[in-house]
């Protein structure tokens, strides 16, 4: 069956109009209900929460609350931010982050418990500048993880336990981090076991990039 040029143009125009109307309807629905509601039956909509929201940017916080139902912190739960010295804990930003998620019934992710970056040098070296023993590092990791995960037990639903343990070289060998150099691959196993023992209900994850 052939179709005239006029009918073809008419049908094409109708299809374009239908697509535009559909797109407009999506935009209006998303604007009216928020992305998290629009996709409520499909998946969660996540966002990284930075210092602006934690320090009082109400416009950004309103956007976060309207459109997102899962949050991950940019920095406030990383070792150097929350635990900058062996005997020092900074809870203000971390508590604010968790409070935002809890008050708004969000899926709260903790990031991260063991990462080669943004961790004080004192975790790996003693006062003399020598690397600590394997047992000493395991003890520090245990204290850090049990304190952090324990404080937010039942409030943080998931943790990035180990972050970026693989290297960037071809074949993705283990990254030669201080964790690896002192404990070998066992630092991964240790971190996951301590996190699970502290909060058995939390979903525990390994996070990385470029593994494809």
Instruction: Give yes or no for residue 17 having a pLDDT over 70.
Output: no
3-state SS assignment for residue 85: strand
Please say whether the beta carbons of 165 and 177 come within 8 A: yes
User: Which pTM does this prediction carry?
Assistant: 0.84
Closest CA to 146 of 128, 163, 132, 159: 159
Contacts of 197 (CB under 8 A, 6+ apart): 146
Give tens-digit pLDDT for 133-149: 999 999 999 999 999 99
Closest CA to 119 of 54, 71, 163, 168: 163
CA distance 93 to 157: 18
Q: Which two tokens stand for residue 29?
A: 């629905």
Instruction: Give yes or no for residue 21 having a pLDDT over 50.
Output: no
Give tens-digit pLDDT for 194-211: 999 999 999 999 999 987
Please say whether the beta carbons of 199 and 153 come within 8 A: yes
CA distance 151 to 169: 37
Closest CA to 142 of 89, 75, 71, 192: 192
Contacts of 189 (CB under 8 A, 6+ apart): none
Give tens-digit pLDDT for 27-86: 655 566 799 999 999 999 999 999 999 999 999 999 999 999 999 999 999 999 999 998
């Amino acid at each position: 069956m052939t179709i005239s040029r006029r009918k073809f143009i008419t049908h094409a125009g109708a299809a374009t109009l239908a697509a535009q109307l559909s797109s407009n309807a999506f935009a209006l629905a998303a604007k009216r209900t928020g992305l998290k509601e629009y996709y409520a039956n499909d998946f969660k909509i996540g966002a990284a929460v930075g210092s602006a929201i934690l320090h009082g940017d109400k416009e950004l916080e309103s956007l976060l609350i309207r459109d997102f139902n899962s949050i991950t912190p940019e920095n406030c739960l990383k070792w150097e931010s929350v635990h900058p010295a062996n005997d020092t804990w900074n809870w203000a930003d971390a508590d604010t982050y968790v409070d935002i998620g809890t008050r708004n019934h969000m899926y709260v992710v903790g990031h991260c418990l063991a990462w080669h970056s943004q961790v004080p040098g004192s975790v790996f070296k003693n006062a003399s500048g020598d690397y600590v023993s394997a047992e000493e590092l395991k003890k520090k990791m245990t204290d850090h993880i049990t304190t952090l995960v324990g404080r937010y037990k039942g409030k943080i639903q998931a943790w990035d336990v180990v972050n970026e343990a693989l290297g960037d070289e071809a074949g993705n060998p283990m990254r030669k981090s201080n964790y690896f150099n002192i404990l070998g691959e066992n630092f991964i196993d240790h971190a996951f076991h301590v996190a699970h023992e502290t909060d058995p209900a939390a979903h525990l994850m390994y996070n990385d990039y470029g593994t494809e």
